[in-house]
């Protein structure tokens, strides 16, 4: 990725060294080419293909935060980029990413006793599917099991899926299992038998 060092926070030389040790995975996408993801210690990059390659987007985590960035912590967050004319890499976060979920004052008061009331992105399935998930992690010793947003996964509260549609991401309350797969299990074990998956997920349909 040809991001300026000021955006990525990693010098060009160090970036090349990090890429030597990065993990790379290809997965089916919506275009003729496979999507790919790479993860290094300080950043990750995930491509989102489209039927029209001009719409292909690269989501980058660990970049400098801007007004359009998502999931910002310690001045680092997630932004979307696209190659446009003359191979220039352009920030298209404002075009393809919907705003982060905003909690009402009542919701903040309700959740702050059990968790930091700020949704963050669960990117754990990006290796497999072009979907992210907005969640809040509540206290596992006092899970909010009666809360309508609760689901059995590290005492998480659900605030929507970010689903790549081929041109932009859309926020969806529910998706099917193909879009949010269960965790891998050992050979011989039944699918979705992991302790964090075996009770189902009220926001994931069969």
Distance CA 124, CA 135 (A): 12
> Once rounded to an integer, what is the mean pLDDT over residues 136-160?
86
Which own/partner pairs from 185-190 qualify as long-range (CB within 8 Å, at least 24 positions apart)?
A: none
- Pick from 135, 123, 159, 133: nearest CA to 46: 123
Identify which of 56, 57, 41, 47 has the alpha carbon closest to the alpha carbon of residue 9: 41
pLDDT at 34 over 90: yes
Residues 72-122 pLDDT 10s: 998 999 999 999 888 889 999 999 999 999 999 999 999 998 888 999 999
> Is the pTM for the entire model greater than 0.85?
yes
Using alpha carbons, list the distances in angstroms from residue 107 to 24, 54, 113, 121, 141: 39, 40, 11, 18, 20
pLDDT over 70 at 54, yes or no: yes
Q: What is the mean pLDDT of residues 32-39?
A: 96
Residue 141 confidence (pLDDT): 78
């Amino acid at each position: 990725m040809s991001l300026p060092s000021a955006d990525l926070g990693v010098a060009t030389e160090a970036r090349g060294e990090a890429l030597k040790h990065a993990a790379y995975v290809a997965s089916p996408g919506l275009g003729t080419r496979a999507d790919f993801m790479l993860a290094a210690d300080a950043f990750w990059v995930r491509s989102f293909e489209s039927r029209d390659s001009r719409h292909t987007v690269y989501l980058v985590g660990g970049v400098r935060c801007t007004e359009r960035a998502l999931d910002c912590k310690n001045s680092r967050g997630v932004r979307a980029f696209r190659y446009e004319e003359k191979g220039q890499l352009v920030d298209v976060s404002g075009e393809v990413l919907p705003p982060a979920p905003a909690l009402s004052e009542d919701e903040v008061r309700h959740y702050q006793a059990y968790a930091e009331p700020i949704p963050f992105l669960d990117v754990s399935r990006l290796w497999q599917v072009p979907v992210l998930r907005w969640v809040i992690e509540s206290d596992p010793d006092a899970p909010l099991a009666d809360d309508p947003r609760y689901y059995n996964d590290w005492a998480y509260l659900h605030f929507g899926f970010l689903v790549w549609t081929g041109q932009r991401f859309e926020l969806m309350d529910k998706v099917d299992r193909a879009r949010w797969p269960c965790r891998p299990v050992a050979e011989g074990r039944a699918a979705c038998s992991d302790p964090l998956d075996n009770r189902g997920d009220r926001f994931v349909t069969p």
